Amino acid sequence: MLDSRDRTLDGGWYLLEADLTDLDGPLVAPCLYPDYGDGIYESERLPLPEPDADGRLRAVIRLKGPVTALRFDPSTRNTRFRLPGLRLRRLGRGRALATMARLAGQNGGPRPWRQRFDMLRVVAKAAFARGLRHGGDVAYARYTAATLPEGDDYAAWVRDHDTLDAAAIERLRGTVDALSARPLVSILLPVYRTPERWLRRCLDSVLAQVYPDWELCVADDASASPQVRSVLEEYARRDPRIRVTFRERNGHISAATNTALEMARGDYVALLDHDDELRPHALLEMVAALGANPRWRLVYSDEDKISGKGERFDPYFKPDWNYELLLAQNCICHLGVYDTALVREVGGFREGFEGAQDWDLALRCVERLRPDEIGHVPKVLYHWRAIAGSTALGLDHKDYAGGAGMRAVEEHLERTGQRARVRANRAGHLEVHRAVPSPAPRVSLIIPTRDRVELLRTCVRSILDRTDYPDYEILVVDNQSSEPATLEYFRSLEAEPRVRVLAYDAPFNYSRINNFAAEQATGAIIGLVNNDIETIGPEWLGEMVGQVVRPEIGAVGAMLRYPDDTIQHAGVVLGIGSVAGHAYTGRPAGYEGQCGRALVAQEVSAVTAACLLVRKEVWDEVGGLDERLVVAFNDIDFCLRLLDAGYRNVWTPYATLYHHESASRGYEDTPEKMARFQGEVAIMRARWGDALLHDPAYNPNLTLTGAPFELAFPPRAPRPGPGPVPGRPGQWRRDGARPASG
């Protein structure tokens, strides 16, 4: 679009207008990549709204500095298109704000005038409080949140990559004889007053299974409708693999499922709700995965929702086994297949947990399993029916389900000796706030700095004034500061008993600086903190300490926001860009993310060192930061070495701080810096290889070329049918000796 060494675009506001004609299907997630003189990077990506029905794209963009090249990607999926016209017009601040307000009101939502008014009101308030630039920051964040699509075109993804025609189903049927084992799978189906239409769809989906070695154990929970009995008896006559028990008294779903469990004769049980549907290859995929991984005793798949019209939507592409996420939401749920002996060993389904009985079962099962006994098949094998009254439409449709889920998690934490407080968040998921030990361990917060005293003062003052943790020290590491104001500030810190200033008189090397400071730390916990961090609330350090003191945990990272209250860091996804990228960057504060994951603590492969905690003994065990990685990726490499040593890394949004990213270091804008960066990329790729492409906390159906958690066109997961199951690289499986929970 623009590529010239002789001319540049100045930074500022612009209106982009394009006329696009798609030739092979919809254009998905268009974006711009500005080159600020140091190359194209995923972190600089500017997402754009999708074209309207006439192919017209209009968007306000903001360039944060002079641009030497600008790349326009009309779509993240492989497609053909025509681009007859593209224009870029400079806007002043006032015109940019007015245009953003107008475009934000044209996104198809209700009351567009109200959206414009609300946006202008919030922007005016922000500008009055912190100046015009901050008002512009807030306006841009609000505008992008209002105009960008929440996700990719799932219908197009299903059409292109997840549709089975008759020929494909027959091909899958022909693979059954090649399976290494063919265990009997007992499908447990509790039924109660199911509308005939959905009950038949459910039963038909079982009959359509290409894997033949199943039995359907149906327990009708004393349905009053004679039609339910008639349908069940009809299907039992049609296929001897369908066995039905009619309970005389209604006992609710846990009791009914236990009745079905009593009927089960299979090696494994699969859980199915009475109005949901299985994909035709669901059991085949699960059995193939179990055969390839004989240690697995619990395996789960991805899922989506299905409307009354049969439309698929709202997919949940799940991570591999993620204990911390299971405490926040039932990420195992659909489709879950369990070793039958394990389910009976834990006592089946507990009455009193109706609405969350399968979550409670999963928690009790993982208490007896190691991580390498829990598997994940990254394919959509289950359709969750989304109709009125179903929890598929939200937990508020069955209030009792939320309460039962909270009790299940609380009792699990109590059984496993974990001290924590559990509360529900606004999205209906659970927050587990872990207790700090008594006495609280000392934390040594290491802050490297070079001049830019205004940043450092804000960082240190915010920690001292706003942190309610009882025992910490701050180690300010002076890396050749020379400005008089900075040196004067260092002298003033001598009066603060919680702060020490350490002199590091050598060229900048982020890894070496932190290793140097860690040797002089007195705390049992090391905290890496950038000098452009600013704390927000008092609880941040206690939240992180509550996680990091657990013996199985390696690094703990925080939710970081830009000063405009958009997300800067919500965990790291491997494989994005050259090596790794941050999740949900640029989304507004409070953004829920994929299935609410941006609101809850969970395990991730890596977190940024801009705010990272780790126990000193663990730091020493893996050797601190690699000093060959002078600036970039030292935190990613450190976190991967923690995984390799058998630890789990956790990101928590319950510790939230501001990050004025790279305000002191600047950009990779010289040939020397660019060469150094590419050298660090080469080190990471040589050391970790394909591990960077298989993030266990991410899903192969999600992109590595666009923004994290958008759909991959095409997916990296294999197409339907038995095959290798993507998962953790082999060197990260040494956590098998650690318990799966607690």
CATH classification of the domain holding 207: 3.90.550.10
Strand duo 553-561 + 648-659: pairing = parallel
CA distance 106 to 116: 9
Together in a domain, 133 and 183: no
Confidence at residue 109, expressed as pLDDT on a 0 to 100 scale = 45
User: Percent helix, strand and coil across the chain, each rounded to 5?
Assistant: 35, 25, 40
Rounded alpha-carbon distances, angstroms, from residue 422 to 419, 430, 594, 633, 713: 10, 7, 21, 34, 38
Examine residue 427 and state whether it is found in any structural domain, yes or no: no
Together in a domain, 449 and 552: yes
Confidence at residue 55, expressed as pLDDT on a 0 to 100 scale = 83
Residues of the chain with pLDDT under 70: 1-7, 23-26, 41-43, 76-78, 105-138, 142, 145-152, 388-400, 662-670, 723-739, 742
CA distance 509 to 629: 8
Together in a domain, 118 and 193: no
pTM of the model: 0.82
Confidence at residue 736, expressed as pLDDT on a 0 to 100 scale = 42
Residue labelled with tokens 């693999």: 241
Examine residue 142 and state whether it is found in any structural domain, yes or no: yes
Together in a domain, 549 and 617: yes
Together in a domain, 142 and 184: no
Examine residue 726 and state whether it is found in any structural domain, yes or no: no
What is the total count of domains within the chain? 3
The residue out of 620, 637, 672 marking a domain boundary is 672
Examine residue 378 and state whether it is found in any structural domain, yes or no: yes
439: preceding bond cis by omega (within 30 degrees): yes
Together in a domain, 392 and 447: no
Rg (CA), the chain: 27
Confidence at residue 724, expressed as pLDDT on a 0 to 100 scale = 62
Together in a domain, 513 and 638: yes
Examine residue 60 and state whether it is found in any structural domain, yes or no: yes
Examine residue 422 and state whether it is found in any structural domain, yes or no: no
Phi and psi at residue 261, in whole multiples of 5°?
Answer: -65, -40
The residue out of 367, 399, 431 marking a domain boundary is 399
Residue labelled with tokens 């089946």: 348
Together in a domain, 351 and 465: no
Phi and psi at residue 465, in whole multiples of 5°?
Answer: -85, -30
Axis crossing angle, helix 93-104 with helix 112-130, rounded to the nearest 10: 140
Together in a domain, 233 and 332: yes
Confidence at residue 728, expressed as pLDDT on a 0 to 100 scale = 44
Closest residue by Cα to residue 445 from 346, 384, 535: 535
Q: Which residue range is the domain that position 9 belongs to?
A: 2-147
Query: How many residues would you count in the chain?
Result: 742
- SS3 string, 247-289, reads CCCCCHHHHHHHHHHHHCCCCEEEECCCCCEECCCHHHHHHHH
Examine residue 24 and state whether it is found in any structural domain, yes or no: yes
Beta partners for 447?
A: 476
Together in a domain, 535 and 661: yes
The CA-based dihedral angle spanning residues 30, 35, 36, 39, taken in that order and rounded to the nearest 10 degrees: 130
Residues with Cβ < 8 Å from 5, sequence gap 6 or more? 68
Examine residue 166 and state whether it is found in any structural domain, yes or no: no
The residue out of 642, 657, 672 marking a domain boundary is 672
- Where do the DSSP E strands lie in 469-570? 472-478, 499-503, 525-529, 533-535, 553-561, 567-569
Confidence at residue 132, expressed as pLDDT on a 0 to 100 scale = 58
Q: Which two tokens stand for residue 720?
A: 């339907």
Confidence at residue 577, expressed as pLDDT on a 0 to 100 scale = 80
Together in a domain, 124 and 197: no
Closest residue by Cα to residue 567 from 608, 612, 613: 608
Together in a domain, 497 and 646: yes
Beta partners for 304?
A: 383
Confidence at residue 729, expressed as pLDDT on a 0 to 100 scale = 40
Q: What's the sign of the alpha-carbon dihedral 468, 469, 471, 477?
A: negative
CA distance 361 to 270: 13
CA distance 243 to 218: 6
